[in-house]
């Protein structure tokens, strides 16, 4: 049965699609810091160049990263995975990029352990 909402959306040239909900859990990190971990990796496209908020990367002056550059991507993703909140993960993390570089990234042990099962799930096809 097509609802009024669906007809309006379709008439505007769009379709309604369902995707699994991403939930978040908090894990204890280094020195009592909290690591936010998604239930699955976001499949959304992200901009090629991002500027991370100071809550994610506060040391140093550099907060702008080119995610098409493997080294930049690793630095940005390390900061997001270790210090980011749910909104940062949804906005800046791309599943394909993270899966591609995860094994070569430097991550604190608590961060790597917290995210490993999420990355493995993405590798297995979610």
Q: Does the structure show a pLDDT above 90 at 11?
A: no
**Degrees, nearest 5: CA angle 58-78-89:** 85
Confidence category of residue 10, pLDDT binned at 50, 70, 90? confident
Quote the CA–CA distance of 50 and 59 in Å, as a whole number: 17
- Determine phi and psi for 42, rounding to 5 degrees: -65, 140
pLDDT at 3: 80
pLDDT at 126: 61
What is the tens place of the pLDDT at every residue in 94-115?
Answer: 999 999 999 999 999 999 999 9
pLDDT at 29: 84
What is the tens place of the pLDDT at every residue in 25-69?
Answer: 999 988 888 999 999 999 888 889 999 999 998 777 789 999 999
Confidence category of residue 1, pLDDT binned at 50, 70, 90? low
Q: Does the structure show a pLDDT above 90 at 7?
A: no
Quote the CA–CA distance of 75 and 56 in Å, as a whole number: 11
Listed residue (26, 50, 46) closest to 111, CA to CA:
26
Other Cβ atoms within 10 Å of 22 Cβ, number: 16
Terminal Cα distance for the chain, rounded: 29
CB 76 within 8 A of CB 48: no
**What is residue 21's DSSP assignment?**
P
Quote the CA–CA distance of 109 and 6 in Å, as a whole number: 46
């Amino acid at each position: 049965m097509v609802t009024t909402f669906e007809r309006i959306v379709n008439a505007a040239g769009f379709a309604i699609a369902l995707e699994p909900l991403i939930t978040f859990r908090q894990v204890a990190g280094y020195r009592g810091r909290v690591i936010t971990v998604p239930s699955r990796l976001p499949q959304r496209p992200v901009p090629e160049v991002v500027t991370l908020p100071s809550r994610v990367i506060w040391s140093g002056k550099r907060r702008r990263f080119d995610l098409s550059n493997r080294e930049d991507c690793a630095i940005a993703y390390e900061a997001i995975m270790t210090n980011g909140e749910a909104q940062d993960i949804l906005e800046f993390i791309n599943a394909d990029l993270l899966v591609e570089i995860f094994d070569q990234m430097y991550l604190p042990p608590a961060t790597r352990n917290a995210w490993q099962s999420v990355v493995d799930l993405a590798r297995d096809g979610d």
